[in-house]
Structure 1
Amino acid sequence: MNAIQETNFQFPGQTGFYRGKVRDVYSFPDKLVMIASDRISAFDVVLPRPIPFKGQVLNQTAEHFLRATSDIVPNWLLDVPDPNASVGLKCEPYAVEMVVRGYLAGHAWREYRAGRRILCGVALPEGLRENDRLPTPIITPSTKAHEGHDEDISREEILERGIVQERDYVQLEKYALALFARGTEMAAKQGLILVDTKYEFGNLDGKVYLIDEVHTPDSSRYFYADTYAQKQQAGESQKQLSKEFVREWLIANGFQGKTGQTVPVMSDEWVNQISKRYIELFETVTGQSFQPDLSTDPLVRIENNILGILNKM
């Protein structure tokens, strides 16, 4: 299978290029082309081997939820010309990620377990266990780093430092919580629990837009609803759909993205297992059957499809 490690196109009218952890972003005067590669990152480090079909899963999952939430907040998406590519409006990103948590899991749990009861300025109650539902969904923002680690930050610090103006930040909070509520409803219909997720927003002509991906396995964590209560009562690990299992594997093999640590070797079997888990998430969370693109040369396919849509715009 031809996993996509990276792209290096030069399109007519292109004004810039940025390679993120997972996406390759091509800029035009008023539009962006985002190509979801098969790269996978954890602890803000890009792992050495790409995961077949991961980019297609991300791109098509994001499309599914962007279209399903466009009545809540306008979003950047204009067209999806290729399984791995989306074209949309070029917005000025806000320099924060709006992380919404409904349960005490992942990073929040690791902080709580370490004895911290204030997360991003939000007070957490005593006596919680891993994966317990929080009294109400909370927003725990993080800075958006182009390189290195995103960092936790409080609402107060965001406003104090002028990272986002208060009027806009209030709007981001409202949108984030409304999106989380819609995501929770959609997940429940598929027998899932939306545990936590992150949203990114941008501004265009004074208007807030939802940008980037939404409710994908890279940005979200899901539990299976039918076994949640039983496993929680028994103190067992939750069966989940997210890339947390990749983080757990890395931790078990001595890697957390810290200086001096080396990424463990990823076997073919492990890479294929990750691929299957991503496909499982797509089918479970969207209720759709995944149709893998088996192009012999996906880079040629992507380039031709993008050129085709650009010629129409």
Structure 2
Amino acid sequence: MSLADQVLAVNDDLPIRTNKPVHSGKVRSVYWLTEEDSQRLIKEKGYDVAPDAPLAIMVISDRISAFDCIWRGEGGLKGVPGKGAALNAISNHWFELFKQNGLADSHILDIPHPLVWIVQKATPIKIEAICRKYITGSMWRAYSKGEREFCGIELPEGLEKDKVLPELLMTPSTKGILTGIPGVPEADDVNITRKNIEDNFAAFNFSSVADIAEYEKLLKQGFNVISEALDKVDQMFVDTKFEFGYVTDAAGNEKLIYMDEVGTPDSSRIWDKTAYQQGKIVENSKEDFRQFLLNHFPDADILLNKDRMPEREALARDNELPLETLMDVSKTYTAIAEKVTGRPIVLSANPKQEIIDVLGSQYGLID
């Protein structure tokens, strides 16, 4: 069994019954179920959703994306072994913990396989909800250049790189390109202020102004639950990105829920606490891979400058990365997943066939 066989690189070609195009993102692919299958599963499985709620199968791949490109390794390796299973295991663990702590629900209804979620359709809030406990990354870069206002928040003098902030900060950015919102540039992933959101709450898909405070509450609660749990396994939750959306439950109530993944090495910075106390930063997240790419290619500006996207895409397309680099990423992801969940991450010998078997035999979704 070659390493390449253990990697689920292409996840949009499964024979899952659907009458809509498969939506393939950087890492996940979404198969919208037919109305008949959605309604049948809601009845059969007793999901707490409206009886006519659209459901989807979400399949996570082992692809690795950084700087908006998908990267590959030597020997035909088109992803990172164990990465998808590690991400799902971590997210599933946090969502379970959220439930135990009485936090909001997530869009996940069922987990048929380590690489698969059954999800309900949600109306997404068009905000990348970012929470920061330490000053690092883009916030530090801005601060070190003398900027003292970040997402409308006034930052005090005297902050030090990689040190804890005076309080947990919420620094939202746009999700997708939003047009026609005063004061908000028409570009993906631009920083915005709370006032931007309040003044244009409907454009960001909020049902009411009051729900802005609700999303902030869920963001803080989620961050704190994960932060406390990571602390117990000697890890630090540095910053993270959450996504939220609206769904309707079986009783017809609209509610705000967590969407996508939470607290994973793809969406967060996680640092080793012992190393930090010794003055070193040891990343248990994708940040190390980003740094590798910046050091690996002679002209780092290609990766950082959005105006050089065609050159960046060519770099990702034309270069096979060293095998050991992708295996280091594999170790980082599986090790943090095993620390968080307390269970081993088992690599599938043939992930695609396993998914087809379980969705066919237990869910009746394979044609």
TM-score (normalizing by structure 1): 0.90
Moved more, 182-191 or 11-20: 11-20
Structure 2 equivalent of residue 64 of structure 1: 93
Structure 2 equivalent of residue 157 of structure 1: 196
Tell me how large the CA RMSD over aligned residues is: 2.1
Distance 2:289 2:145 in 1: 22
Give the share of equivalent positions with the same residue, in percent: 31
1:267 aligns to 2:322 (yes or no): yes
1:279 aligns to 2:343 (yes or no): no
**Alpha-carbon shift at residue 41 of structure 1 (Å):** 1.3
* Partner of residue 23 from structure 2, selected from 8, 12, 18: 18
* Partner of residue 305 from structure 1, selected from 355, 358, 364: 358
Indicate conservation of the 8 Å contact 2:103/2:222, yes or no: yes
Structure 2 equivalent of residue 203 of structure 1: 246
Indicate conservation of the 8 Å contact 1:21/1:39, yes or no: yes
**Alpha-carbon shift at residue 187 of structure 1 (Å):** 0.6
Counterpart mapping for 1:68-107 below 5 A:
68-70=97-99, 71-107=102-138
1:170 aligns to 2:213 (yes or no): yes
Indicate conservation of the 8 Å contact 1:192/1:285, yes or no: no
- Stretches of structure 2 lacking an aligned partner (at least 5 in a row): 36-53, 73-77, 178-186, 249-253
Moved more, 47-56 or 196-205: 47-56
Indicate conservation of the 8 Å contact 1:44/1:257, yes or no: no
Indicate conservation of the 8 Å contact 1:25/1:35, yes or no: yes
Code of the residue aligned with 1:67 in structure 2: it is: E
Counterpart mapping for 1:131-280 below 5 A:
131-145=162-176, 149-161=188-200, 162-163=203-204, 164=206, 165-205=208-248, 206-231=254-279, 237-252=280-295, 253=297, 254=300, 255-258=302-305, 259=308, 260-261=311-312, 262-263=315-316, 265-280=320-335
Indicate conservation of the 8 Å contact 1:79/1:88, yes or no: yes
Indicate conservation of the 8 Å contact 1:99/1:196, yes or no: yes
TM-score (normalizing by structure 2): 0.78
Alignment length (residue pairs):
305
**Alpha-carbon shift at residue 16 of structure 1 (Å):** 4.3
Distance 2:161 2:128 in 1: 23
**Alpha-carbon shift at residue 204 of structure 1 (Å):** 1.1
Code of the residue aligned with 2:31 in structure 1: it is: Y
Structure 2 vs 1, CA of residues 299 and 104 (structure 1 numbering), >3 Å: closer, same or farther? Answer: same
**Alpha-carbon shift at residue 137 of structure 1 (Å):** 0.6
**Alpha-carbon shift at residue 145 of structure 1 (Å):** 2.3
Structure 2 equivalent of residue 290 of structure 1: 345
- Stretches of structure 1 lacking an aligned partner (at least 5 in a row): 232-236
Runs of 4+ in structure 1 deviating by more than 4 angstroms, as ranges, are none
Structure 2 vs 1, CA of residues 304 and 135 (structure 1 numbering), >3 Å: closer, same or farther? Answer: same
